[in-house]
Amino acid sequence: MMPSHLPHWLQSVFHSGAQPYVSDLYPKLGDTVTLRVRVHSDAPVRQLYLRTFPDGEQLFTRMRKAEDVPPASWWEVELEIGEPQVHYRFIMESADGVFWYTALGSAEHEPSDTTDFRIIADYEPPGWVHDAVFYQIFPDRFANGDPSTDPQPHEYDYRGMRPHTYPWGTPPPAKAWSPVNFYGGDLPGITAHLDHLTRLGVNTLYLNPIFTALSNHKYDVGDYDHVDPHFGGDQALIDLRRALTERDMRYMLDIVPNHCGYASKWFQAAQADFNAPETEFFIFHDHPDDYEAWLGVWSLPKLNYESLELRRRIYGNDDAVFRKWLKAPFSADGWRIDVANMLGRQGAVQLGVQIARDIRSAVKTARPDAYLLGENFYDAAPQLQGDQWDAVMNYYGFTHPLWFWLSHYERASYKLNGKILSDGPSTTTAMTTSWLARLASYPWQIALQQFNLLGSHDTPRIRSIVGENDALHRLATVLLFTFPGVPSVYYGDEIGLTDDDYLRSRGCMNWDEATWDGDLFAFHQQLITFRRRSKALQFGSFQLLHVDEDCVAFQREWERERVLVVANRGTESAEAIPVAHGGIPDNTVFRDFVGGQEATMSNGQLILPATGQGATLWQQIA
């Protein structure tokens, strides 16, 4: 948020990468777009300037006063898209001094270019993603459609461990090795329950790995060329694709190009023969048993992208892994790339940028509208400039700041003994500052594609994060569907699943509807319906309007649609929210989408009914 010593009117200064602030969201190189800035009508602004940096030289351009529609005045200017990526900011002359405005907000100092607004020229988005609502499935734990393919102890030995399939939802033995504890979930089980997903309203599946592997999680891939037979094999994926097409639904596959499994046919060939072609796919310190593995985990040998043959097999050839599964008959709609932050990186060898760009080229050649999603828990801004991933799983930019606000701060790393913990939740300012800083680090075109989530197979479930507090769970869900980006529901969150005592967030889906939280399911249905219809939530700007100890309010705008979100973690109702600096005139009327109550702007404040703890979503109606 803006420092408190700055003039109050600076809160009303606003620009975004969305319409009506940028006339064209996806311009071509050589196009000219119109940029608009909104300020309060009473702001003592004498002149605004656009600051650009064409070919490395600073350029200031005077803006013109466009219109005055109280409580807002508008300034505009033309910007030529003369480079593959154009970055810009604004400078204001006023009676109170000279101030700068960037994607991070107003400042009295000259900010660095890293906080500039950005526009990518000639960017082709995976357009279907904008109205997508994803549903993540961990296949072994979702539904058992064909018990005849359940893994059995006699089938294989995983370095002394054998697979066991347990009755659905029952705990495994205390000393059982987690990766070979199965419950029989498979692709036919997913196909059989598509009616549940269409009733919920989701339209895109994200499947955790399905390729042949020995574990239940299948991040230890053994064969990239086939669906695991315990999941139904290749035909089961073809059948699922057909069933999804009939319902106008899509799906995204999960791939592990950073490492493979100990039982991989490539790794076994390399171990058996030092002169095998596959030996160069790995980093052997002392052949055959001393090798580089992901975070030192013996079952996950790391792939070596110095090998040109490995690159050809993974993405380069016409029938390479990244290309094959995007084509008929499988026709996947996108890829989620495991540990994308580590791909092609090992000590002195730092090939990550090159490999990511190569993968993008291969994927977009095979299917131009494919969604290319990277897993990255940290700052992924360098990978989100239009030349690598379309998006990342937005833990860093959305999920973690929200968790810390609703529960407590917590951080760990794989070599740290213990965790870094706070005694209580983070401040609202900490959360919103994190949100804005992340959004400021990449173009708005990319922000609209970010993969937002409340939890996944790698994290606790959101209902457990909030201590099974239903109001806070719903608050988090409202923010999931209204924050810039694409929302994803983790299987079972819609019915109130919590972390399992034994399986944690990877517990078995509960198919006994009598035990579901039906109100929570209906709440998800409502929000999904609203998200899929709302252009403001799919494309609109994001402006923070209010931040206090327990409450945050923001608005999303697109053309004539305006949506306000008020999230209150406290138990006392937020009754009057000052939002005039959002350009909202008095007497504007809003209706809460979920509850149907109305609220009216008066004296620059949104007067709210008593709602208590939770979140409300307000749509302008008059």
Residues annotated as catalytic (active site), given as ranges: 338, 375
**Rounded to the nearest 5°, which phi and psi values hold at 453?**
-150, 155
Residue 532: which H helix or E strand, with range? Answer: helix 518-533
Distance CA 354, CA 391 (A): 17
Residue with tokens 């466009």: 66
Q: How do strand 204-207 and strand 250-255 relate by DSSP bridges?
A: parallel
Distance CA 148, CA 172 (A): 20
Q: Which residues contact 318 (CB under 8 A, 6 or more apart)?
A: none
Nearest by Cα to 139 from 131, 129, 151: 151
Q: Where are the alpha helices (DSSP H) in 193-317?
A: 194-200, 233-246, 265-272, 308-311
The CB-side HSE value for 250 (13 A sphere, CA atoms) comes to: 20
* DSSP letter string, 107-119: ESS---GGGSEEE
Quote the DSSP letter at residue 602: E
**Rounded to the nearest 5°, which phi and psi values hold at 583?**
75, 25
Q: Which residues contact 297 (CB under 8 A, 6 or more apart)?
A: none
* DSSP letter string, 202-223: --EEEEPP-EEESSSS--SEEE
Q: Which residues contact 281 (CB under 8 A, 6 or more apart)?
A: 266, 267, 270, 303, 304, 307, 309, 310
Q: Which two tokens stand for residue 349?
A: 């060898």
Contact 563, 556 (CB under 8 A): yes
Nearest by Cα to 569 from 612, 613, 618: 613
Neighbours of 67 (CB within 10 A): 10
Nearest by Cα to 609 from 579, 569, 566, 548: 566
Distance CA 61, CA 57 (A): 13
Distance CA 168, CA 92 (A): 63
| CA–CA distances in Å: residue 551 to residues 425, 429, 442, 612 | 13, 10, 26, 11
Query: Which residues pair with residue 86 across a beta bridge?
Result: 119
Residue with tokens 């075109």: 445
* DSSP letter string, 457-475: TTS--HHHHTTT-HHHHHH
What is the rounded (10 degree) CA torsion for 464, 468, 473, 474? 160
**Rounded to the nearest 5°, which phi and psi values hold at 246?**
-60, -25
Task: Verify cis geometry, omega within 30 degrees of 0, for the bond prior to 179.
Answer: no
Q: Which residues contact 272 (CB under 8 A, 6 or more apart)?
A: 288
